[in-house]
A and B are shown apart, each in its own frame.
Chain A
């Protein structure tokens, strides 16, 4: 009789949970629609527009979830966790997928090859990303992490330039599988001494206090390997430059942002089980202090990404190393795991979506219009496309963190959040991270403005005649750049909004 009652509560929880996945159902429905319609209707614009509609509807339903009264809603017996924090992550992911689809409508290379998978896999990818944001059980974390990774490998392999794509996909998948195998082994050890895979289970943390410290340190390090791979942080960053160089810039609008956002969401979920009070207590945590670990990783990531980016000659390799440095900045939001840190992280992720998507759209534009792949190809480009060049300067200035743009307020908030974490714990490694981040910001001025100098100061070395298609600049990149400036000048609205949702 007892097991029957237990089973009934399990089923009850499942029955309640279904209705919270409405945005994901919408995405699934539109994916299936796209699959069927692609068989019968050979029209190049219909499929992407349908997918855009699907993303918009799903984003609307995600937005409606904000008003759910019961915060920290546990779905499917703790497999998934829905709260305002995850909803913001989901909205950011929907935004970046929307921008990606809208932009790939204009990509000539996608149009010529008519790759239907390119479009109708986006909703499915977004489902996987949403699940990763919500997962609060090690099974669901591992499962959705693998799903996201499989889609990423597939997107890299979907060819535009076949030979380079094959190499990039090979490096990506070998490295990714290695990282996920390490993660799985770490999870199995963690399960061994905690006896549960549910992060929210009170036994999970209680078992930690009793278990031998070396094993805890080993298993958490292995788990960290899988997480650091997803957010492209040192020492699991090797794949990023090769993958970026071998992938078209259009695909990178999605791939350089979306897995990273979901990775941070998952990381925040994982850290949230080590609740606020005991987070930094040395007594409980003699061998594995998250604050020290994360700040060391963040500072090494920033330093390595910034210094290696200086010597790059290929624009996408440069952006890859710059992205690694940005990852380090984002990690600063998680160091103290304070409420202000989370607000700073979410705010900077919003800025990151705007800045990086605009940067890759412009790089893709230069690729298509002027066949510019190396930094040398950017010489004198301001005379050929002044509009795009000026937009790129604004985006780079924001990525560096110069004052009137959104990148400045984002970085400022991250700095103040980590300084607060330092004040509350007096951990010298946090202070060290703040210093390295300041140095990293200054160095980023060099490598971003190397491109700007090439565009404005240098004479063009060769002439390629091409018809300019400026439509995409005005309809898509310009609004994003205006948003970058607007939220840079008036940042309080968005920060207060995020704060009101999380508190």
Chain B
């Protein structure tokens, strides 16, 4: 069986959907962050797959973008985890629904 661009796209779409669901479910901040990472990884799969298929365009762009996306999402997740630690110190929970100081 030939592996075509369609297969990559299907995998990335599935990853994206799973990640989006996990991010919107909001049970636990860590799970939300994992969901966001899955979404970023889906985009990275897309970028690399398209970079190998695209013969007429600039093939380096996609690979370069994939590298930047991985590094930047790692940096953002590190900051998010630091904030999670701080939130846990104050609220003793990491369920986003229970962290509601602000009331209108």
Contacts and interface: CB of A to CB of B under 8 A. Distances in A.
24 contacts: A153-B83, A164-B102, A166-B89, A167-B91, A167-B102, A170-B84, A170-B99, A171-B96, A173-B80, A174-B23, A178-B23, A181-B39, A185-B42, A188-B62, A191-B46, A191-B61, A191-B62, A191-B65, A195-B50, A197-B61, A197-B62, A198-B61, A203-B56, A311-B104
Contacts of B75: 146, 150
Nearest to A316: B102
Contacts of B68: 139, 142-143
A189 interface: yes
Question: Which 6 A-B pairs give the minimum distances between C-beta atoms?
Answer: A195-B57, A188-B46, A181-B39, A184-B43, A192-B50, A188-B43
Contacts of A167: 87, 90-91, 99-102
A170 B46 contact: no
With most chain B CB atoms within 10 A of its CB, the pick from A138, A154, A174, A182 is A174
B102 A242 contact: yes
A232 B82 CA distance: 24
B33 to A, nearest CB: 7
Nearest to B78: A150
B76 interface: yes
A174 B84 CA distance: 10
B72 A166 contact: no
Nearest to A145: B72
Contacts, number: 144
A146 B72 contact: yes
A149 interface: yes
A230 to B, nearest CB: 14
B64 interface: yes
A182 B39 contact: yes
Given A173-B80, A185-B43, A313-B104, A166 B33 contact: no
B18 interface: no
Contacts of B69: 142, 184
Contacts of A189: 46
A398 to B, nearest CB: 26
A149 B75 CA distance: 11
A187 interface: yes
Interface in A159-174: 162-164, 166-167, 169-171, 173-174
A177 B42 contact: no
Contact of B79 (A143, A166, A173): A173
Contact of A181 (B19, B57, B62, B80): B19
Interface residues of A, number: 48
Given A177-B33, A182-B39, A142 B46 contact: no
Contact of B83 (A139, A146, A157): A157
A40 to B, nearest CB: 27
Interface residues of B, number: 48
A199 to B, nearest CB: 12
Given A142-B72, A157-B83, A188-B46, A177 B36 contact: yes
A194 interface: yes
Contact of B50 (A188, A241, A242): A188
Contacts of B89: 166
Contacts of A313: 104
Nearest to A176: B76
A196 interface: yes
Contacts of A169: 83, 86-87
Contact of B58 (A170, A180, A198): A198
Contacts of A182: 39
A77 to B, nearest CB: 10
Contacts of B23: 174, 178, 181
Nearest to B5: A192
Given A143-B72, A196-B58, 10 more contacts: A139-B68, A150-B76, A150-B79, A153-B80, A163-B91, A166-B86, A169-B86, A170-B99, A192-B54, A197-B65
B7 to A, nearest CB: 14
Interface in A105-127: none
A187 B104 contact: no
Nearest to B59: A195
A246 interface: yes
Given A143-B68, A146-B76, A185 B16 contact: yes
Nearest to A147: B72
A177 B77 CA distance: 8
B19 to A, nearest CB: 7
Nearest to B58: A196
Interface in B6-54: 12, 16, 19, 23, 29, 32-33, 36, 39-40, 42-44, 46-47, 50-51, 54
Given A173-B83, A203-B57, A191 B50 contact: yes
